[in-house]
Structure 1
Amino acid sequence: MIGTYQQATAALYGRINYEVVNTDKMSPIDFKLDRMRRLLAELDDPHLKIPVVHVAGTKGKGTACALVAEFLKAGGYKVGLYTSPHMYRFEERFVVNGKQPSEADVVALTQTVLDAADRLQAEDASLAPTFFECINAMAWMHFCNQNVDLAVLEVGLGGRLDSTNLCKPLVTAITSISFDHTRILGSTLAAIAGEKAGIIKPGVPVICGVLNPEAQAVVHAKAEEAKAPLKQLERDVLVQTDAAWSLAHREQQVSLNCDGETWKLRLPFPGSVYADNAAIAVACVHELASRGFPVPNSTIAAAARDIVLPLRFEILDESPVLIADSAHNAASIRALIKAVREHLPSQPVTVMLAVSSDKDHAAICRELKGVERVIVTRYVGTARAVAPEQLAETAREHFGGQVLLAENPAAALEMARSMVGNGDVLLATGSLFFAAEIRKIVSESPACSVSQPA
């Protein structure tokens, strides 16, 4: 019997958890929908009772999901948002109108879901649900208990065999395709795109943000096969930057166009990648209007201006500027460094870097060329982090500049601050887990000095 929050977390973390092991030790056979389908059936199929926006993509899917949920919430709907991984507590993954479930809710949900899991495991050991599957089931139960109008789901890994892919979506979106989790998803962009496109359902509209021609062709072919109407970024969904982001004002102004309608948004984060993700989110909400969930354009504009996205170019301190960002593969690091260079062009940049051991460390380090120095470390929350000594060796080979080593995130931050002036930029990135640890250290420090933009 689970009676406390601590017992609930212990029971859940005792399940098989692929998030804390390296994906290079896994294979596609580890991912299948049978377990999840059976678990949800034991719970009276809560996933069939809620309309969904389902979003996949190598990068940008979490941002797009957060924006869709915020736009719908601003439109007066009760919205469940399911994302992964979490920063500090696993219940961050399933929120309703931005509110996490209470500890009492977590206890009750855990008991219900693990009772169902135990019944399946007693029947067949291979049906024992994983940590991710249990959390996904808890999210569905919570959304049903809270009587949400819609749910917005971020795919965990891939798409085709992800446990979120049993939903019944009103609209799907694929934000981007780049190399990540290649042992599971495939070693070519076409193969990865095929896995992501596995969320496309017959007749359900698709918003495609994929720009690589090889990957885009796969998504388009899948949509055509499923007779799913598709809107393509840069063809049907257009983005124009009207005013660039600056440190003083901290917003970029963009104009979006879809189906002859225009949205003028002020986005509180820089870079074309975020503008594209906002466009994908707006296109998703636009599709929902004809399916009974309209949101006025003015409401979307107001919500976009005020949204807060932790670890998305998040400025934690100003003297020197300290940015935490969850970029974790070569493509997202490239976009991050580009944004820093474009919007903080004259300021020397020191990167604090920690990376998961299943990532392409060399490719990530190559994207850092041109920054002042790199301080490598490891995050401490899970065992997935690559050893700092190994990462330092890779950085020295592929980055080419000054590489320093710190034992842990706190030591990395202390070292970085001791080496730079107030006009420099410190950038903590390479992993959501690491960026979250830096964020926590700074939030607990009385020395933090972030002012409101003008």
Structure 2
Amino acid sequence: MIEAAARERQIPLLRLGNEIQVAAIDKEWAGIQATVTTPADTYRDLRVPLLGLHQAENAALAVAAVDGLRSRGWDISDGALRDGLARTRWPGRLEVIDRHPIVLVDGAHNPAGLERSLAAVRTLARGRPLVIVFGAMKDKDLQSMLAQLRALDVPVTFSAIGWHRAAAPAHLAEVFGDGAETADSASGAISWARERAGANGIVLVCGSLYLVGEAIAVSRASKRAAVASRR
């Protein structure tokens, strides 16, 4: 459909894997290093601090977009392009919000997004305990996402979310099967997960941007309380 519309309107169409090529190295906690080739140029050793090898594809599309702007007269230097990628932040996408243990939040809320996030976390968690906090809206593809969590074979707790469309933790646990825990708040779920993970472990909070928002709020409140207690 998109290709047909582009042809009809005589608009150039650049496709990842065709006109746009990317090769990347996963630097794990340091992000990725990518080489991107577009019809205009090849950009080597681009640094992106986002976690997960899949972010190389997003970086490649951003580079191609810059090429498109340049072709229309925008003055964007290679230095600005590299600096922009190196400074990229994406709150709620494999974002570290706490340490000891590391707490990651990721807003992937569909099977494809969750698959990529879990692949990245498996790499990051090699040799370390991993615990999942999951919550989702009840209109999502819960069966597929919960099947991915089962395949990880790690401790999982299902969290309530303060939103009317949220799936009940008890329902998620029932669909998931034996072995899951439930919590009536993000705070309770994260507290349980941190204890299970231990200081050297990793906690991943995922499944919903609403849950991610609550997890970030819990983390900020905890940090404010810690600062206040030291005064």
TM-score, normalization by structure 1: 0.47
Name the residue aligned to 2:9. 226
Deviation at 1:447, TM superposition (A): 8.7
Equivalent of 2:176 in 387, 390, 395: 395
Asked whether the equivalents of residues 353 and 377 of structure 1 are also in contact (C-alpha less than 8 Å), the reply is yes
Find out whether 1:299 has 2:84 as its counterpart: no
Name the residue aligned to 2:62. 281
Name the residue aligned to 1:236. 19
Deviations 1:213-272 (A, max 9, x none): xxxxx432332233221111111111111x32233xx22111111124122311111223
Asked whether the equivalents of residues 28 and 52 of structure 2 are also in contact (C-alpha less than 8 Å), the reply is no
Q: Helix, strand or coil for the counterpart of 1:236? A: coil
1:350 & 1:447 partners in 2: Cα distance? 25
1:262 & 1:390 partners in 2: Cα distance? 50
Q: How does 1:127-206 map to 2 (within 5 A)?
A: none
Asked whether the equivalents of residues 378 and 387 of structure 1 are also in contact (C-alpha less than 8 Å), the reply is yes
2:189 & 2:139 partners in 1: Cα distance? 22
Two-structure CA RMSD over aligned residues (Å): 1.9
Name the residue aligned to 2:209. 432
Q: Any unmatched runs of 5+ in structure 2?
A: 227-231
Name the residue aligned to 2:229. none
Asked whether the equivalents of residues 245 and 343 of structure 1 are also in contact (C-alpha less than 8 Å), the reply is no
1:232 & 1:303 partners in 2: Cα distance? 22
Find out whether 1:312 has 2:84 as its counterpart: no
Name the residue aligned to 1:328. 109
1:332 & 1:227 partners in 2: Cα distance? 32
Q: Helix, strand or coil for the counterpart of 1:355? A: coil
Name the residue aligned to 1:201. none
Name the residue aligned to 2:158. 376
1:448 & 1:269 partners in 2: Cα distance? 29
Change (3 A) 1:391 1:343: same
Aligned residues: 224
Name the residue aligned to 1:254. 34
2:48 & 2:104 partners in 1: Cα distance? 17
Asked whether the equivalents of residues 350 and 371 of structure 1 are also in contact (C-alpha less than 8 Å), the reply is no
Q: Any unmatched runs of 5+ in structure 1?
A: 1-217, 450-454
Asked whether the equivalents of residues 31 and 52 of structure 2 are also in contact (C-alpha less than 8 Å), the reply is no
Change (3 A) 1:403 1:448: farther
Q: How does 1:119-134 map to 2 (within 5 A)?
A: none
TM-score, normalization by structure 2: 0.90
